[in-house]
Structure formats: C-alpha cells, structure tokens
C-alpha cells in the first residue's frame, strides 16, 4: 500500500549529490486534473503495490509479470519495472525476483530499495529487502539486509537511515518485531533503535501495515497490529521520536482506535500520511463496520500540535467500504480503496443522507473533512494500493484497468492543471 511522496526534482538533485533523499511531501498548489496522461505503460496482470521516483525514472513494484507500452508492445517484468517519468518509455531495468514487491524507496546514486515477500534477487538469497541499480537492475552488493520470514510492507529512506516495516520478527538475525532502522548503505540493523512493538497477547503477531516520516525526519508515525510501542501504551497508531539513538514514544497519542471495528481485524488501519508542513496526519481504515461515531472504513485527520491524548479533527466515512491508501498534498487529501462513496456517515453499504459518489478514488478538503468536487472515478477492484504525489501530478497504482474513464492498466498519473 505504499504511497510516499517525493518531488522528482528534489530526488534528482539529492541522487546526483550521492545523498539518500529526505522524505519530502509535495505541497501541490492545486488539485490535480481528472484527466490522466495518455503515455503511461499498462501493467497487464496482478497489482501495483508501490511507486517511487529516482531522478527521471518511475519505479513500480507489485505482484505483476507483464507490461505493455502505450503503443502496445509487451514485455516480461516480474514484480518490478521502470519507465521514463515524462513520456513512459520503458527502461531496461528488470531484476529477477522470486516474489512480490510491496514497498519502494529512492536511494542514493541511482538506486532504489525494494521490500516485499521475495527470497532471492538475481539468483542470490536475499529475503524481503534489496537495493538495486536503476541503470541495470543489479544488486548493490554492499547492502546485505534480509528478514527472517514474512514480508516488508513499508520503506522510508532518510539521511543515513532506511526504515523498514512489515510482518518480520528479525532483520539480519537481530530481533525486531515489525519495525527496524537500518544503515542505508550496508543494511546493518541500528542496534540502539528498537520500537519494541508488542501485541495484545502472546498469540497476536505484531505487524506494521504502514508508516510515514514527518518532514524533517524526526517523527515516525506507525500503524499496525500492536498495543504498545517503546514501552508506552499505543493501540494501532504510535508516534515515535527518531531524532536520537533510541526509539522514543512521543507524548502524543489517540484512544480512537482502542475499540475494534470487527473482531476479525487485529488492526484496521491501512495507510497514513503527513501533511507537507507536518501539521497534521491522515489515517485511512477498513473495518466492516458503520456508524457516525466509528473510525471504521474512514479517513481520519489528527492535528499534531499539543501533547497527550488527541481526538480526530474530522472523520470522513465511506459507509462500509475499505480505504487502503492516502496521499496528503496540502490542497487535497487523496484517498483510494474500493469505496463507492465519501461523506457517508449514515450509509451501510449504501448511500446514506448526504453521501457523494466517489468510486474507487476521491479527494477530501483538508480543512473541512468534506469531499472535494474532484471525481475522476476508477474501476474499483480491491482498491488503490499506491499513491505518489510529485511536482508534476499524482501517480496511482492499483489492480484494475480503468482510471479517469480511460484504459490505464494498473498505473496512471493525474497531472497538475
């Protein structure tokens, strides 16, 4: 569900300088167009789970095996592909992985980090984590990180560090439940940084569904199946101070997610993203539950100012359909899933009073929490798994082939007007 926001120009400059680019949410001046660009390639099967930009290259990861150019030429691409960010020209980048890619992060010197459920990379054993050259798909040999089992679902690179989250319990044989901080060059585990996530019981498997670094890299918001983080009670959502050698629970929390939406979900949080200025955070959820006071199947804004317990600034409910991904650009909060409506607190798999149709994708006013007029539509499927906002527009990755009333196989881009 990876939706991180990188400015293409910023990444290009940082990459040329040999520095791992900071996470930089793009403050877009306007809501993007409802008409996608026509030149993007078409992923022909599976699902796009992650998108990243490295210089003028877009890298896409997921569960697919084939891609076609806009002109119709087909190519084999297992789990990863790359193309030109301005005209869709397919890159020769075609590393050989034996399993899905769920997360991507731009690296220094023309490289990209990949996380997922794979066990080998270009024939070499390297489970769940890899660093690859954009030029030729080769492994960056000095990076040797690997997880013990499970998968990697979230990646963020900042300065000398790479953050990884997922369902693993160890990295490089160092115990880390669901979250680790690694040396971005070597993949070595930061021995002092341990979020110490714990589950509700010995039987509950701790996992991180998603995380987001705040601008400046000093705060990490983490969502997943846990009830404690860094020694503090934090149910499903935690804010960690990452500025020092240890993971410290910030005195900022919410009790909104203490009550279950449905007994079948050990966590119902699916994605989150900070505002470009770091002043607020938006979380999206599933839950299979409805009601105007329930944070289930919803987008929820939390303001970051102040300490202690925080209530939601607003909640926008779909009326019983899952939201999976979110991207915050200042002018809009973009949400995607298999929802049919927004502004639907009284719906129960139907349109309640005041509901607005937003099939599969929509945008919310960051201030009011109400749906914006933007309504390009998409074929719903399971839902949007990846957003990427850049200085040029909004990239969308999913599992279907209709976006903005046009054919776009699992990847498309809405440009800024």
CA distance 309 to 297: 22
pLDDT band at 291 (very low <50, low <70, confident <90, very high): confident
Rg (CA), the chain: 20
SS3 152: strand
237 backbone dihedrals φ, ψ, rounded to 5°? -140, 125
pLDDT at residue 159 tops 90: yes
Q: 4 pLDDT exceeds 60?
A: no
Is the pLDDT at 2 greater than 50? The verdict is: no
- Amino acid 25: pLDDT: 64
Query: Among the listed ranges 171-185, 201-215, 336-350, 389-403, which one has the minimum average pLDDT value?
Result: 201-215
Q: Which residue in this structure is represented by tokens 């881009």?
A: 413
pLDDT score of 161 more than 70: yes
Domain range list for the chain: 8-412
Tens of pLDDT, residue by residue over 253-287, are: 999 999 999 888 999 999 999 999 999 999 999 99
Which residue, chain included where needed, has tokens 């502004």?
343
Per-residue pLDDT for 19 more than 60?
Answer: no
Percent of the chain clearing pLDDT 90 (strictly above): 90
**Triad 273, 365, 157: Cα angle to 5°:** 15
Query: 8-412 — its CATH code?
Result: 2.130.10.10
pTM, to two decimals: 0.95
pLDDT of 15 over the 60 cut: no
In this predicted structure, what is the pLDDT of residue 202? 78
Stretch 358-387: mean pLDDT, rounded?
98
Q: What is the mean pLDDT of the chain?
A: 93
């Amino acid at each position: 569900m990876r939706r991180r926001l990188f400015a293409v120009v910023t990444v290009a400059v940082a990459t040329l300088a040999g520095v791992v680019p900071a996470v930089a949410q793009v403050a877009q001046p306007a809501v993007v167009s409802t008409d996608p660009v026509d030149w993007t390639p078409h992923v022909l099967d599976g699902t796009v789970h992650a998108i990243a930009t490295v210089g003028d290259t877009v890298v896409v990861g997921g569960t697919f095996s084939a891609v076609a150019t806009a002109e119709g030429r087909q190519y084999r691409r297992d789990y990863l592909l790359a193309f030109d960010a301005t005209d869709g020209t397919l890159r020769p980048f075609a590393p050989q992985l034996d399993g899905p890619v769920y997360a991507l992060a731009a690296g220094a010197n023309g490289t990209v980090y990949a996380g997922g459920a794979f066990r080998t990379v270009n024939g070499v054993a390297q489970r769940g984590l890899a660093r690859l050259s954009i030029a030729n798909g080769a492994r960056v040999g000095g990076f040797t990180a690997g997880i013990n089992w499970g998968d990697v679902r979230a990646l963020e690179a900042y300065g000398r560090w790479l953050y990884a989250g997922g369902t693993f319990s160890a990295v490089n044989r160092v115990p880390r439940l669901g979250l680790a901080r690694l040396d971005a060059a070597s993949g070595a585990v930061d021995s002092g940084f341990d979020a110490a996530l714990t589950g509700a019981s010995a039987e509950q498997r701790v996992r991180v569904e998603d995380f987001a670094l705040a601008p400046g890299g000093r705060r990490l918001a983490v969502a997943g199946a846990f009830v404690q983080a860094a020694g503090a009670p934090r149910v499903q959502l935690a804010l960690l101070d990452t500025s020092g050698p240890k993971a410290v629970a910030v005195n900022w929390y919410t009790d909104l997610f203490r009550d279950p939406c449905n007994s079948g979900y050990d966590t119902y949080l699916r994605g989150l993203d900070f505002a470009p200025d770091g002043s607020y955070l938006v979380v999206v959820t599933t839950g299979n539950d409805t009601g105007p006071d329930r944070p289930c199947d919803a987008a929820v804004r939390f303001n970051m100012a102040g300490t202690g317990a925080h209530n939601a600034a607003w909640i926008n409910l779909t009326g019983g359909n899952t939201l999976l991904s979110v991207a915050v650009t200042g002018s809009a909060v973009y949400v995607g899933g298999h929802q049919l409506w927004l502004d639907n607190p009284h719906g129960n798999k139907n349109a309640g009073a005041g509901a607005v149709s937003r099939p599969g994708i929509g945008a919310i006013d960051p201030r009011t929490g109400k749906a914006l007029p933007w309504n390009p539509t998409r074929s719903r499927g399971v839902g949007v798994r990846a957003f990427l906002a850049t200085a040029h527009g909004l990239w969308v990755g999913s599992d279907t082939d209709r976006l903005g009333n046009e054919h776009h196989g699992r990847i498309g881009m809405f440009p800024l007007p």
